[in-house]
Amino acid sequence: MTEAHIWQNEKLGLRVVEALKKNRFKAEFMATREAVRQWLLELIPTEASVGLGGSVTIRQLNVLEELKKRGNRILDHNDPMATLEEKTRVRRQQLTSDVYLSGTNAVTLDGKLVNLDGTGNRVAAMIYGPQKVIIVIGINKIVKDVDSALERIEMFAAPMNNYRLGYQNPCVKTGFCMDCESEQRICNVITIMRKKPTQTDITVIIIGEELGL
C-alpha cells in the first residue's frame, strides 16, 4: 500500500469506529491483520469454544490453526466431508459458543452492520446466543450508507461467495445478483444492526487492510 492508502484507511477506519461506539458497540481500529491475530490470541481463553460464521476474513487472519493447536474447540460447519446433519449440529452449537468469530458483508459510515445470509445461522449467532461476538471487518467493507451496503452485497459479496462455494446460481454466470429463485440461493435473510443488540457482547474490529469478500 502507498502512504496515501494507509492514511485514508486509518481515517476511514477511525471514523467508523467512532460511529460504532455511538451505536453502543465496542470497537477498535487495528492497522494490520497480524495485529488482529495477536489480539485474538490474547483475548480468547484457551478453554473457550470458538464458533465460526463461514467468514473469509477470519480465515485470512490465519488464527484458527493457532487456536486449535493450543486447545480451543473450534466449531466449524464448513467441513466438505461433513453430512448435512453434522453441519446442522455444529451450527446449533455455534449459537451457544463462548466466542463467535465473524466478518460482515458491509459496515456503513454511520456504524450500521449489514449482512445477507442463506441459512441465517451466521446472522442469528451475531445477534444473540454466544457469550461474546467478535466481528472483524476489512477496510474494503466500509460503504456510505445502507443502500450502498446492499449494492455492495449484490454486486460483489453474493456472486463471489456463490462462486467460492461452488453453487451454480445465475449470478455465477452473470457476475452480479439476479434475485434468483434457485434452491441453492444464498440471499435469503437480510439483517441491519442499527445499534448493538441489548443482551449481546459485541466487539467490532476494523482492519486497515482489504480482507474478505
pLDDT 10s digits, 170-193: 999 999 888 899 888 989 999 999
Would you state the pLDDT for residue 54? 86
pLDDT 10s digits, 7-63: 999 999 999 999 999 999 999 999 999 999 999 999 999 999 999 988 999 999 999
> What rounded mean pLDDT belongs to the chain?
96
End-to-end Cα separation, the chain, in angstroms: 19
- Write the single-letter amino acid at 87: K
Q: How confident is the model at residue 81 (pLDDT cuts 50, 70, 90)?
A: confident
pTM of this structure: 0.95
- DSSP string for residues in 112-166: -EEEEESSSHHHHHHHSSSSEEEEEEEGGGEESSHHHHHHHIIIIIHHHHHHHHT
Domains of the chain: 3-207 (3.40.50.10420)
